[in-house]
Structure 1
Amino acid sequence: MSEARRREGGRHAASLARPYAWTAGRTRPAVDLPVEALVETTIEGRTAPYSATNPLAVVTQLCLHQRSVAEVAAHLNVPLGVARVLIGDLLSARQVSVRDTLTEDTSWDERNDLLERVLSGLRAL
């Protein structure tokens, strides 16, 4: 293996390790968060101190306007599990609110429409 490929592999491994360091290695949030759930920053989150190096603060800034859990993961360029843990932590701290987009009464057509919108949004990223 060439030196360049080893360095590239090292960078890739380090870039994957960093998000898990943000969550102290946790991959599952304390609450179940569907990928399509909408996340929005609360008043508490808007008034919390901001630091560009704090991933929780970055999420609160991203969610000043509603975003899905999947969108948050895509914007942060992190695995979905990491985004869910961060959002779960913010939810526990009441810095974000989460709104489910599907209920038990949601029809098949509504579910299909939601999936189409999520896919469209992800493609737009």
Structure 2
Amino acid sequence: MSAAAAGDGPWLDDAAGRLVRPFTVSNGRTRPSIALDLMSQVMATGVTPLGYLGPEHGQALELCLAPVSVAEIAAHLRLPAAVAKVLLSDLVDCGALTTKPPVTHHHPTDRALLEAVLDGLRRQL
């Protein structure tokens, strides 16, 4: 087994990937206690959570010093979005995070917006 990547800690391995299954991170829960979508913005309130929540909660909280989307948190933590939503809802429930709906200037089914997203994805491939 190879050593963990720098900065990833003991939970990730270069060859094997995540060493802890995502469902264990959320204690088997699959639904967040609050409604969050991938574009919802979360931000730390400065309140320190009482009790032990887990290392992923702490990592998520560190990422939320400025407003950040749920999708970005999931990507940085290398967790499925459903698990990230559960972790973030835990932090909202204890007062450590605040959330607000995404700021959009377009209707979600706006054809021009969807075409711009498609063009961006094509450039990435």
TM norm structure 1? 0.65
Q: Would you say the 8 A contact 2:32–2:89 is kept in 1?
A: yes
Q: Write out the 4+ residue segments of structure 1 that deviate beyond 3 Å after TM superposition.
A: 109-113
Q: Percent identity?
A: 29
Higher helix share: 1
How far apart in 2 are the matches of 1:82 and 1:57?
14
CA offsets 1:40-65 (integer angstroms, 9 cap, x no match):
01120xx459x9x6111111101111
Q: Would you say the 8 A contact 2:39–2:70 is kept in 1?
A: yes
Q: 1:108 is aligned with what amino acid?
A: H
* Aligned positions of 1:1-125 closer than 5 A: 11=16, 15=19, 17=21, 19-44=22-47, 47=48, 54-101=55-102, 107-108=106-107, 112=113, 116=117
Deviation, structure 1 residue 102: 5.3
CA offsets 1:82-115 (integer angstroms, 9 cap, x no match):
1000000000001001110258xx65279748x9
How far apart in 2 are the matches of 1:24 and 1:60?
18
SS in 2 for 1:108: coil
CA spacing shift, 1:48–1:110, aligned 2, 3 Å: same
How far apart in 2 are the matches of 1:81 and 1:109?
21
SS in 2 for 1:97: strand
Where relative contact order (Cα < 8 A, 6+ residues apart) is larger, the structure is 1
Q: 1:24 is aligned with what amino acid?
A: N
In structure 1, the gaps of 5 or more residues are 1-10
In structure 2, the gaps of 5 or more residues are 1-15
TM norm structure 2? 0.65
Root-mean-square deviation (CA), in Å?
A: 3.5
Q: 1:38 is aligned with what amino acid?
A: Q
